[in-house]
Copies of this chain bind each other. A is one copy, B any other.
Amino acid sequence: MGRNNEMKLGLYLAWAGYHEGAWRDPSAPANGGVNIDHYAHLAELAEGAAFHFVFLADHQGVIDHPTTIARAARNDGLEPITLLSALSSRTRNIGLVGTATTTYYQPYHLARMFASLDHLSQGRAAWNIVTSAMNSEAHNFGDKELPDHESRYARAKEFVEVVKGLWDTWEDDAFIRDKESGVYADTAKLHVLNHHGNHFSVKGPLNIARPPQGHPVLVQAGASAAGVAFAAEVAEVVFTAEPRLENGKQYYATLKGKARAFGRADDQVLVMPGIVPIVGRTKHEASEKLQRLQSYTHIDVLIGAAELWLGSVTDLRSIDLDSFVPDTLPQTNSIQSRQKLLVDLAVRQKFTWRQLIHLVSDSRGHLLVVGTPEEIANVMVDTFDQHAADGFNVLPATIPGGLKDFIELVVPELRRRGKFRSRYSGQTLRENLGFKRPVNRFTRASGRQ
């Protein structure tokens, strides 16, 4: 495999933590969602522990069902691109992963903004490519509902091609900036894209120098068939949700195989599932932490979150929550893969609907590990060693509480086992993840590189 023995770690930066009840945890600052000092503190904690990146999810709209809004903390947070730009000035080494939708942006905007973020951070930018999954986003951009899954992915694929083409507008050494002669740019190294496709017509050129990383790192989380195909071709980091080891191994092998078919080496596509670690000095203490968090979640919050992730598979407000989840449920135009994963888990474990909606609130189907630092490290190392993961996107249930627990207790355990580094090895995110710098498509075409 050529894989080294070090796992990659990202921090999923939900300002209060990943658990639906996290904002009620004593460690969460009340106004944390709009407080840059809070986010900077979290990024500094992760950077101090040599995490590879912080990861910001995003939705272009209010997430929750009307009845949930009163009790959810998600609709009161800073916008990712602006937030990461600010964090670029408050950190030095850690990667900055921002989510942005191809369904409701234009490629010229995102190409420019991520190129700019890459310059601001001296090569630490990454774009998590999503296609939007909620009709509440569609309603903010003139659509009655989301385009169907297939159309969204077709648009996403063209979108990414355009963005990469725009990043290659200027060759790395196109800007000469020679004061003596008055020549600023070598226009032989300027390439106009002239893209005309099904979804976009974008002429270019982009009005910013090529990003320090060549291209910011591309992250993706799609796990449907269309999503996996897209990830295999395009993504460099794949953020998955897979709590079952056997399925994780299978996914890992499948993805790397499909990527190989696109001529991509195994170490150029990293699989990073999410993990929700709940750390206690004893297993009992960890369980109590989870129970306390669960006690924070009102039934409206549980149902609201479940509706978001399960889509309209059933009417949770009229169903008997203590009945079992049946094994025949329709698929909807939502986050298809996660819906399937959650329902499959519930059916296999003979969950009631109440247990399923708690599972959604606790982890949204991500690997949930409740235990001692040793137990959590065991699961992580095992998943890594068995080639079900190249690392993890860590989703602390509470922040900063659960993040500090993880850094102070689990990270040292991973280091003792030789599985995690103590310092940054490279300057750029791309270097730290072991990725090659992309060759400019235009120099490649001309045979100059």
With A and B bound together, what is the CA distance between A170 and B75 in angstroms? 10
Q: Cβ of A296: which chain B residues have Cβ within 8 Å of it?
A: 182
Would you call B205 and A75 a contact (CB within 8 A)?
yes
Q: Cβ of A23: which chain B residues have Cβ within 8 Å of it?
A: 177, 179, 184
A31 within 8 A of B: yes
Shortest CB-to-CB span from A323 to chain B, Å, is 26
Please tell me which one of the listed residues B75, B78, B104, B185 contacts residue A76 in the complex, with CB atoms under 8 A apart: B185
Q: Cβ of A183: which chain B residues have Cβ within 8 Å of it?
A: 70-71
Within 8 A of B (CB), among A71-118: 71-79, 81-83, 85-90, 104-106, 108-109, 112-113, 115-117
Would you call A208 and B78 a contact (CB within 8 A)?
yes
Copies in the complex: 2
Q: Cβ of A90: which chain B residues have Cβ within 8 Å of it?
A: 89
- Beyond the given pairs A36-B88, A79-B208, 8 more chain A to chain B contacts, judged by CB atoms under 8 angstroms and listed by A's residue number, are A34-B209, A73-B177, A74-B207, A75-B185, A77-B207, A85-B86, A105-B109, A140-B202
Would you call A108 and B141 a contact (CB within 8 A)?
yes
A298 within 8 A of B: yes
**22 sample A-B contacts, Cβ–Cβ < 8 Å, listed by A number:** A30-B179, A60-B109, A60-B112, A61-B108, A61-B205, A61-B207, A62-B204, A62-B206, A69-B187, A69-B190, A70-B186, A71-B182, A71-B183, A74-B207, A76-B185, A79-B208, A81-B85, A83-B116, A85-B86, A89-B90, A108-B141, A182-B296
Nearest chain B residue, comparing its CB with the CB of A194? B139
Would you call A30 and B177 a contact (CB within 8 A)?
yes
Q: Cβ of A276: which chain B residues have Cβ within 8 Å of it?
A: none
Would you call B177 and A31 a contact (CB within 8 A)?
yes
Would you call A204 and B140 a contact (CB within 8 A)?
yes
Would you call A108 and B203 a contact (CB within 8 A)?
no
Would you call B187 and A120 a contact (CB within 8 A)?
no
With A and B bound together, what is the CA distance between A44 and B254 in angstroms? 52
Q: Cβ of A140: which chain B residues have Cβ within 8 Å of it?
A: 108, 202-204
Q: Cβ of A141: which chain B residues have Cβ within 8 Å of it?
A: 106, 108, 202
Would you call A71 and B184 a contact (CB within 8 A)?
yes
Within 8 A of B (CB), among A25-42: 26, 28, 30-31, 33-36, 40
Q: Cβ of A119: which chain B residues have Cβ within 8 Å of it?
A: 34-36, 78
Please tell me which one of the listed residues B72, B83, B142, B186 contacts residue A200 in the complex, with CB atoms under 8 A apart: B142
A314 within 8 A of B: no
Within 8 A of B (CB), among A352-409: none
Shortest CB-to-CB span from A117 to chain B, Å, is 5
Q: Cβ of A40: which chain B residues have Cβ within 8 Å of it?
A: 89
8 tightest Cβ-Cβ pairs between the two chains A and B = A85-B85, A79-B116, A139-B203, A89-B89, A82-B85, A82-B116, A108-B140, A34-B119
A201 within 8 A of B: yes
With A and B bound together, what is the CA distance between A287 and B142 in angstroms? 55
With A and B bound together, what is the CA distance between A204 and B175 in angstroms? 43
Would you call A81 and B24 a contact (CB within 8 A)?
no
